[in-house]
Amino acid sequence: MKFFGQLTTALALLGNAAAQSLTRVNNFGANPSNAKMFIYVPRNLAANPPIIVAIHYCTGTAQAYFTGSPYKQLADQKGFIVIYPESPYSGTCWDVSSRATLTHEGGGNSNAIANMVKYTLQQYNGDPTKVFVTGTSSGGMMTNVMAATYPDLFAAGIVYSGTAAGCFYSQSGGTNAWNSSCANGQARGTPQVWAKMVFDMYPGYEGPRPKMQIYHGSADSTLNQNNYNETIKQWSGVFGFDPAKPDVTQANAPQSRYTTYSWGNGQLVGVYAQGVGHSVPMRGADDMKFFGL
C-alpha cells in the first residue's frame, strides 16, 4: 500500500508539473504560414481567464521567451493564460514584411496568431475583453502588426524595442524579409501616412482599437531609436493625437533615465530609455498595470 501511495503522489506531482509547463497546440485553426503555438495554463486558472500573447525576438523560441520573460510567474499569481507563438522561419524572426501578414485574415503570421487567440478563447472560456499582446524586437514589431490587423481582438499592446506596423513592408513581396531602411531609422512619415498603413491593414474597420505602450532605448543599434518616434507618430495618427504634444511628461519614470510620455489619458504611452540598447528589459509588474490585471 505504501508503494501505491508513493506512486499516486509521484503521478500527482508529474501531473502538476505538466499542467504548469509549456504545451504545444497543433490544431488551433487555419495556419497557412505554419507558425507554431505553445500555451501556458496556470494551475489556478481564473474563471473567464484573460489572455496574453507574448511574442519572441529573432533567434528566439517560445520556450526561450517562456523562460526569459516574467509572464509565467505572473500567470501563476493572477490566473491568466499566456500564448507563446513561435516563428516558423530560419532565424525565427517574424514575418512583418509580406502583404499577407499585413492584412486582416490575410493568411500570414498575424492570421495564425489571431487564430491561436480565438482557439484559446473558445477552449478555455476566456474573457474576450481582456486579450493583450506584447513582444520584444521582432516580437515587438509583430505586436504593432497584431494591433493593426486585429484591433477587434486586443484591448492593449506593449511593444519592447520594435518598429511601426508596416515599416518592414517588402516592396518585392518578400516574406520574413529584412528592411535595412526601417531598421536604420530612415523610414520616416507623417502621423497621417503611418496611420493610413494601419487603416489599410483592416479596411472598413471602425470599431475600438487597443491602447498602446511603446518602449525603446536611445542606444539601440539594431532597430535605430528613430523607430520609437515613428511608432509614436503612427499611433498618434490612428488615435488623433499630436505626437509633439503629450498630455503628461514624466522624467525618471518608471526609473532613472527613462522618460514616460502619455496621450489621451493613457491611450498611448511612450517610454524612452536613455542609454539603453537593444532591447529594453521587460517590466512585468508595469505590464500588468497597463493591462489592468
Would you please indicate which residues are annotated as catalytic (active-site) residues? 137
- Buried residues in 252-285 as b, exposed as e (16+ CB within 10 A): eeeeeebbbbbbeeebbbbbbbeebebbbebbee
User: Which residues are bridge partners to 160 per DSSP?
Assistant: 136, 215
- Among 84, 81, 50, 51, which Cα is nearest to 66's? 84
Q: Which residues touch 45 (CB under 8 Å, ≥6 apart)?
A: 79, 81, 124
Distance CA 99, CA 171 (A): 9
Phi-psi region of 204 (alpha: psi -120 to 50; beta: other; left: phi over 0): left
- Among 262, 228, 260, which Cα is nearest to 245's? 262
- Contact assessment for residue 161 and residue 140, using Cβ atoms and an 8 Å cutoff: yes
- Contact assessment for residue 95 and residue 108, using Cβ atoms and an 8 Å cutoff: yes
Q: Cell triple for residue 173? A: 513581396
SS3 content of the chain, % helix, strand, coil (to 5): 35, 20, 50
